[in-house]
């Protein structure tokens, strides 16, 4: 019940459909109970009383009741569906909205396949209960109570006799529900794991194939498929045990009515017509009773599914805009004050202090895993600091309106993600109203214009899922153009040119000089040649700033920067016969 209480916000606004549907259901049920009454009349008056002229009117009444009942039945099912669909529509929107608002840390933990299964299969199980389950439940209660009341009016003793088995029925139902609930939770969980395996396999198909690991992946899938199959079988096994009990109780009821009812008729304490009517009511209510199993199934599935939906809806999100948030125009001054960051219990950053003035370029250099990305991720609040603060224009990023902050900070990640749409739409992603000229200009700066124009459809070329069909360097250049077009006050290039060759990187850098003018730029790169022009270079090691200064200052110190510099210099020396490197050196006028 708790699941339904917590999800009530989604179905309460549409209760009018459910109420109308239930009204129709009551009428359908009431009309259904007219048959036993008519049957009694036919037996007592037409057959026993020999009033044959009444036969046709009674048959006419039975037919009319069937037609009206059919119409009400259609109405109640239709309205039930409308109720379920409206609620599911809102729920789907809320889930999607929530997922869009969740922070990076949430996506570090969840599995895409499992999320997809929650958004589809679990949502549908919940909708099914709203659309049919609610009505069936009400139908069950109504039919049983109406039926019992009618039976009571026919013969109280006979009704009391069949009620003896009711507590047994209730006990069995409750007992099975407690067994079914965990069984269905397992079914849902194994389905999520199965979807995760499929999704990861498809996403990573190139890696799978390149290592010829199809066999291993098939085995992994087989294992999860087996687990899903086994959990379904376990649930079916429970049902297998449940149905015979229900069948037995139904048949016992028939025996009781035959025995006690027959005895009452023989003694002359009950009319034959009443016994026939009693029987017909019993059959009428045994059907929904035998459906109790399905009802329970529907119910437990929807509770298990609802729990999984609530896990998304109620997931904590510490990264939200404060009520009195700041949403001004950004100048681009960034300050880190005593920043410490702990992730998964591990200290990733500590004692990070630095200031960048608007328009300056700051470079971060360090070994892999040193903490460079972790530093820049704090600026647009992809993560929040554990201690200390990050200020933009003197205002703590936690006091900025999240959208205003992120709209004015553009990040180009090492792995560029492209949507499966046109190159134009991919570049204009942060500025949907951009004109062709603006998009082409951003592409020119990112050194992407040339290869885009050579494609058969130019900017209208549709790139495959995740940009398949383009090279890594081409994707990076499109991502770069996307950031340039967004015209941010702060531009963060997190290893954004790692996939392009040195010559292209050089061309991009030349063009970026113009883009970087007037905006604060963070550059993370491994090649010293990329960083050396920065106003300030921070050398990161083990989550701390170990050196800082300009290129000239740092090469004079005997530290990590110089070590990296000399290493890169040695490489260059070893490959001195490489015509390309020589050409680039010459072009750059690098003084090593």
Ligand X SMILES: Nc1ncnc2c1ncn2[C@@H]1O[C@H](COP(=O)(O)OP(=O)(O)OP(=O)(O)O)[C@@H](O)[C@H]1O
Residues that bind ligand X (CB under 6 A): 108, 343-344, 348, 366, 368-374
**What is the helix (H) or strand (E) element at residue 363, kind and residue range?**
strand 361-366
Spatial CA neighbour of 130 closest among 218, 17, 234, 217: 17
Name the residue nearer to ligand X (CB basis): 374 or 426.
374
Minimum gap (Å) between residue 570 Cβ and ligand X:
21
The CA–CA distances, whole Å, from 140 to 128, 144, 244, 280, 310 equal 17, 6, 20, 17, 28
The two beta strands, 361-366 and 536-541, are parallel
Q: Residue for token digits 């709209």?
A: 407
- By three-state DSSP, how is residue 347 classified? strand
**Smallest separation, CB 12 to ligand X (Å):** 38
Which of 236/342 has CB closer to ligand X?
342
Among 176, 189, 190, residue whose Cα is nearest residue 300: 176
CB of 136 to ligand X, least distance (A): 46
The DSSP secondary-structure symbol of 428 reads: G
Nearer to ligand X, 463 or 480 (CB): 480
What b-and-e string marks burial along 163-178, b requiring 16 or more CB atoms within 10 Å of the CB? eeeeeebeebbeebee
CB of 526 to ligand X, least distance (A): 7
Closest contact distance (angstroms) between CB of 421 and ligand X is 28
Give phi and psi for 398, each to the nearest 5.
-75, -10
Residues 7, 310 contacting (CB under 8 angstroms): yes
Residues in the chain: 592
Which two three-digit tokens encode residue 52? 């044959």
The residue (of 217 and 494) whose beta carbon lies closer to ligand X is 494
For 557, residues 6+ apart whose C-beta sits below 8 A from its C-beta are: 547, 549
In eight-state DSSP terms, residue 461 is P
CB of 175 to ligand X, least distance (A): 44
Nearer to ligand X, 332 or 371 (CB): 371
Nearer to ligand X, 366 or 467 (CB): 366
Minimal distance, residue 344 CB to ligand X, in Å: 4
| Beta strand 334-343 pairing with 387-392 | antiparallel
If the CB atoms of residues 239 and 382 are measured against ligand X, the closer one turns out to be: 382
In Å, how far are 128, 180, 220, 246 from 239, measured between CA atoms?
Answer: 19, 9, 29, 10
Dihedral angle, C-alpha 245, 247, 249, 250, nearest 10 °: 160
Q: Which is nearer to ligand X, 366 or 380 (CB)?
A: 366
Report the alpha-carbon distance of residue 122 to residue 188 in Å, rounded: 7
Q: Closest separation between CB of residue 373 and ligand X, Å?
A: 3
Q: How far is the CB of 500 from ligand X (least distance, A)?
A: 17
Nearer CB in complex with ligand X: 84/371: 371
């Amino acid at each position: 019940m708790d699941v339904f209480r917590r999800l009530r916000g989604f179905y309460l606004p549409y209760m009018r459909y459910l109420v109308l549907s239930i009204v129709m259901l009551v009428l359908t049920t009431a009309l259904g109970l007219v048959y036993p009454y008519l049957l009694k009349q036919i037996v007592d008056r037409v057959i026993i009383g020999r009033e044959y002229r009444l036969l046709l009117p009674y048959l006419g009444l039975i037919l009319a009741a069937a037609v009206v009942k059919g119409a009400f039945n259609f109405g109640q099912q239709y309205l039930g569906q409308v109720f379920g669909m409206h609620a599911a529509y809102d729920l789907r929107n809320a889930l999607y909205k929530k997922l869009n608002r969740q922070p990076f840390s949430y996506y570090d933990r969840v599995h895409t396949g499992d999320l997809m299964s929650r958004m589809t299969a679990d949502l549908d199980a919940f909708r099914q209960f709203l659309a049919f389950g609610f009505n069936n439940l009400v139908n069950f209660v109504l039919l049983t109570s109406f039926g019992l009341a009618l039976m009571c009016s026919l013969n109280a003793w006979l009704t009391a006799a069949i009620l003896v088995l009711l507590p047994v029925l209730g006990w069995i139902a409750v007992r099975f529900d407690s067994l079914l609930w965990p069984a269905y939770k397992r079914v849902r969980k194994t389905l999520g794991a199965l979807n995760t395996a499929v999704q990861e396999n498809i996403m990573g198909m190139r890696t799978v194939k390149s290592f010829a690991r199809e066999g291993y992946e098939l085995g992994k899938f087989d294992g999860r498929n087996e687990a899903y199959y086994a959990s379904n079988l376990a649930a079916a096994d429970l049902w297998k045990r449940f149905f015979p009990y229900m069948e037995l109780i139904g048949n016992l009821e028939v025996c009781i009515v035959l025995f006690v009812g027959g005895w009452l008729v023989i003694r002359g304490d009950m009319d034959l017509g009443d016994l026939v009517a009693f029987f017909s009511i019993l059959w009428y209510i045994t059907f929904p009773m035998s459906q109790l199993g399905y009802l329970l199934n529907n119910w437990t599935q929807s509770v298990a599914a609802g729990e999984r939906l609530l896990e998304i809806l109620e997931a904590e999100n510490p990264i939200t805009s404060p009520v009195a948030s700041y949403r001004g125009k950004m100048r681009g001054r960034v300050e880190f004050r005593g920043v410490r960051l702990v992730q998964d219990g591990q200290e990733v950053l500590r004692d990070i202090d630095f200031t960048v003035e608007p328009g300056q370029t700051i470079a971060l250099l360090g070994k892999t895993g040193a903490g460079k990305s972790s530093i820049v991720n704090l600026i647009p609040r992809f993560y929040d600091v554990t201690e200390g603060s990050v200020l933009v224009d003197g205002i703590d990023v936690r006091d900025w309106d999240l959208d205003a902050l992120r709209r004015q900070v553009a990040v180009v990640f090492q792995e560029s993600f492209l949507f499966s749409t046109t190159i134009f739409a991919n570049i204009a992603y942060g500025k949907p109203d951009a004109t062709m000229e603006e998009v082409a200009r951003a592409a020119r700066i990112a050194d992407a214009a040339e290869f885009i124009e050579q494609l058969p459809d130019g900017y209208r070329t549709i790139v495959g899922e995740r940009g398949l069909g383009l090279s890594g360097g081409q994707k990076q250049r499109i991502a770069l153009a996307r950031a340039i077009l967004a015209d941010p006050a702060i531009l963060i290039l997190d290893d954004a040119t790692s996939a392009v060759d040195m010559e292209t990187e050089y061309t991009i850098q030349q063009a970026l000089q113009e883009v970087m003018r007037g905006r604060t730029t963070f550059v993370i790169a491994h090649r010293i040649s990329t960083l050396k022009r920065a106003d300030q270079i921070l050398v990161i090691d083990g989550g701390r700033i170990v050196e800082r200064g300009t290129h000239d200052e740092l090469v004079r110190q005997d530290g990590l920067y110089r070590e990296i510099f000399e290493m890169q210099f040695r490489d260059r020396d070893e490959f001195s016969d490489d015509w390309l490197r020589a050409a680039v050196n010459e072009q750059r006028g690098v003084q090593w």
